[in-house]
Amino acid sequence: MYRFLFSSKWLGYFVLAVIFATGCVLLGRWQMDRRAETLAEINRVVNNYSATPLPFSAAKAQFQSMDPEREWAQVELHGSYDVSGQRVVRNRPLNGQPGYEVVVPFRLSSGEAVVVDRGWLPIGNKTPGRPDSIPAPPAGEVTVVVRLQASEANLGRGAVEGQLQSIDLPSYAAELGYPIMTGAYGQLATESPAVQVMPAPFAKPATDEGTHLSYSLQWFAFGVLMFVGFGYAARQQARNARIDAEDEDEEISAMPRRTAPAPRKSKRPTAEEEEDAILDAQGY
């Protein structure tokens, strides 16, 4: 009944089903990998974002070479800002609005220097390509709490004076007249004493895993449904073939049968017929 499955036509359909299902599985696994990355990021935020700030002495190694698992960890720093080394970082959107971020070297009381990202500024209206104003950090001795972020990649593009294309710490360090730690920088959480005018603070990272799980399940379901559709089509083909065979049998049964012809009578009369004919002729 299902011998047609071995025809070149149906084998081609099966190969197409296998290719489609394989693609669905790969896309489903890709979504699962993205979900795993998202969950790892959420786990870092949950564990580190609001944890008790570490002293610089306990987090110094992170500023030299950051462990990704320590992203968002809070660190308390004591020292002063070096406003002469302040830069603005271009192309930094916030809530869909384009703008800048303000980074300032922070010279610690222990002698080391790190970079602090103080927050976000909108695009200015006075001078194209620059913010209208940059709020000054507090002067003198300051205590700040920052959240660790890894140094960013060098985008390979130039920038106008006083600006950076990315927070690429080695490139930033080359512009300063003293060494800074280039493994990580800190996003500002709090600073004391506070100043009245501040850049916009950073929003807390989202902890919603998104739709990766539902998308992955949908792709896996599409792969299964492809074989379900193939099986249904094969079943319908077999059913139609069976119906056609039954109809053909009924047509053959309904055809009139040819009957055998009656035996022909012999043209030569029998002896009894000849005797009867003679008697009839004689008047008997």
Q: What is the pLDDT of residues 157-207, one digit of tens each?
A: 878 888 999 999 999 999 998 999 999 999 999 999 989 899 999 888 888
Hey, is 192 helix, strand or coil? strand
Residues in contact with 140: Cβ distance below 8 Å, sequence separation at least 6, in sequence order: 80
Most confident by average pLDDT, 143-152, 155-164, 217-226, 273-282: 143-152
Question: How far is residue 76 from each of residues 142, 148, 190, 196, measured CA to CA in Å?
Answer: 11, 11, 9, 21
263 cis-preceded (ω within 30 degrees of 0): no
| pLDDT of res. 163 | 92
Q: Which two tokens stand for residue 66?
A: 């950051």
Tell me the domain boundaries of the chain.
Answer: 3-43+211-247, 49-192
Task: Kindly indicate the confidence band of residue 265, based on its pLDDT and cuts at 50, 70 and 90.
Answer: low
Question: Per-residue pLDDT for 5 more than 90?
Answer: no
Per CATH, which fold does 49-192 belong to?
Answer: OB fold (Dihydrolipoamide Acetyltransferase, E2P) (2.40.50)
